[in-house]
């Protein structure tokens, strides 16, 4: 029986050795740690995994190692996007042989294509792929996949879902409304941390969230709290994870902040293939301290020497604790969206 594509799929970073090559032993250790820490699935060759900084041969090596180490404990959703459709199909065939559950394929990048060209691209893949396909919509880097196109592509049995990293909650809702009536089994995954809770409330099946590579225990907890209807606790955890996410995202060029945080959890990632200037090296040291303070607040690591500044608000995730007070704009936006979702669900009689 096939693993379901649901829950938290981790788009993990790839450790490198002193020569800048894939550190297989450490990658296997990282995979074990992620699975033991609660992720529902693994997502190699994603944006967080810097897939564009590896050769096609290395991308295949990464998926092979991840599938071997996962050994059926959790499903693997492998990024299979290549610049040429023939190479993409070759990757699909290879990843099916390795034992991946499905592949995620971003729409054509570099050239901005029409909706009809995007449809033709995925149609060709759907007709020839030997493995299930999830669409990957990331309009900031690739040709967008609009709702009518998604609806048309959902007619192909081989296309089983979509990962959306637009961060647009309304767009995701329109997608679900258009596709679910004709394809109830179609999988929806959100790739944007800030709307994980609202999207789960609206029926999203899970997320491919970069924080799960840093704090897999907490990202899974958010998923479980939401599924269990423990919404007050879920909202507090969503706010805190947003604080961590924003710090990693905006304090350094992506995904350098995430690399720093993963290393604080004890994974040896090595030097990134993206060189850092002297100024960036200093900024990375500062970022490391800030992230260590945030992670220590979660109880994940020890505080840095000299301690941390006073917290902006209570850190407990018990039902009686008030929500944290940092990042007020993001909190207000997330809270407002979550409340709108809850009210809509109640109106429909779902809650």
Mean pLDDT of the chain: 87
The predicted pLDDT at position 110 comes to 84
What are residue 103's phi and psi, to 5 degrees? -120, 150
Choosing from 95, 136, 221, 235, which is the catalytic residue?
136
The predicted pLDDT at position 276 comes to 82
Q: Is the pLDDT of residue 304 over 70?
A: yes
Mean pLDDT, range 255-278, rounded to an integer: 91
Evaluated on CA atoms 326, 328, 333, 337, the torsion sign reads: positive
The predicted pLDDT at position 297 comes to 86
Q: Assess whether 119 carries a catalytic annotation.
A: no
* Cα dihedral 237→238→240→246 (10° resolution): 160
Tracing tokens 């991840």 back to the chain, one arrives at: 66
- Considering the entire predicted model, what is its pTM? 0.85
Query: Before 95, cis peptide (omega within 30)?
Result: no
Comparing 2-16, 236-250, 316-330, the range with the smallest average pLDDT is 316-330
Mean pLDDT, range 334-348, rounded to an integer: 48
Q: 172-231: per-residue pLDDT in tens?
A: 999 999 999 999 999 999 998 888 999 999 999 999 999 999 999 999 999 999 999 999
Q: How far apart are CA 302 and CA 279, in angstroms?
A: 27
Q: How far apart are CA 91 and CA 103, in angstroms?
A: 9
Q: Assess whether 163 carries a catalytic annotation.
A: yes
Q: How far apart are CA 110 and CA 142, in angstroms?
A: 7
Q: 274-299: per-residue pLDDT in tens?
A: 988 888 876 778 888 888 888 888 88
Q: What percent of the chain has pLDDT over 90?
A: 64
Please report the domains of the chain, with CATH numbers, ordered by start residue.
7-230 (3.20.20.70)
Choosing from 30, 119, 163, 221, which is the catalytic residue?
163
């Amino acid at each position: 029986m096939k693993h379901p594509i649901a829950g938290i799929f981790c788009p993990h970073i790839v450790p490198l050795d002193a020569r800048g090559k894939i550190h297989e032993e450490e990658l296997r250790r990282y995979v074990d740690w992620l699975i033991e820490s609660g992720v529902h699935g693994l997502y190699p060759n994603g944006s967080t995994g810097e897939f564009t900084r590896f050769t096609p041969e290395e991308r295949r090596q990464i998926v092979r190692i991840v599938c071997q180490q996962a050994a059926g404990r959790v499903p693997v959703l492998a990024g299979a996007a290549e610049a040429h459709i023939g190479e993409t199909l070759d990757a699909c065939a290879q990843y099916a042989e390795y034992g991946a559950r499905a592949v995620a394929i971003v729409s054509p990048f570099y050239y901005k294509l029409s909706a009809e060209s995007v449809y033709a691209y995925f149609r060709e893949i759907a007709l020839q792929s030997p493995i299930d396909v999830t669409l990957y919509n990331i309009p900031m880097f690739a040709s967008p996949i609009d709702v009518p196109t998604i609806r048309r592509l959902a007619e192909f049995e081989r296309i089983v879902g979509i990962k959306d990293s637009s961060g647009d909650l309304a767009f995701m809702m329109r997608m679900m409304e258009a596709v679910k009536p004709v394809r109830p089994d179609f999988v929806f995954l959100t790739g944007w941390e800030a709307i994980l809770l609202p999207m789960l409330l609206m029926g999203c099946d899970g997320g491919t969230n970069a924080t799960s590579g840093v704090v897999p225990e907490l990202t899974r907890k958010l998923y479980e709290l939401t599924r269990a209807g423990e919404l007050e606790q879920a909202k507090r955890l969503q706010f805190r994870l947003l604080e961590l996410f924003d710090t990693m995202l905006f304090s350094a060029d992506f995904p350098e902040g995430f690399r720093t945080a993963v290393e604080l959890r004890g994974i040896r990632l090595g030097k990134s293939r993206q060189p850092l200037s002297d100024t960036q090296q200093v900024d990375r040291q500062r970022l490391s301290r800030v992230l260590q303070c945030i992670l220590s607040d979660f109880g994940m690591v020890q505080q840095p020497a000299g301690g941390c500044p006073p917290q902006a608000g209570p850190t407990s995730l018990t039902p009686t604790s008030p929500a944290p007070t940092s990042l007020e704009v993001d909190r207000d936006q997330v809270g407002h969206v979550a409340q709108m979702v809850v009210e809509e669900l109640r109106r429909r009689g779902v809650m």
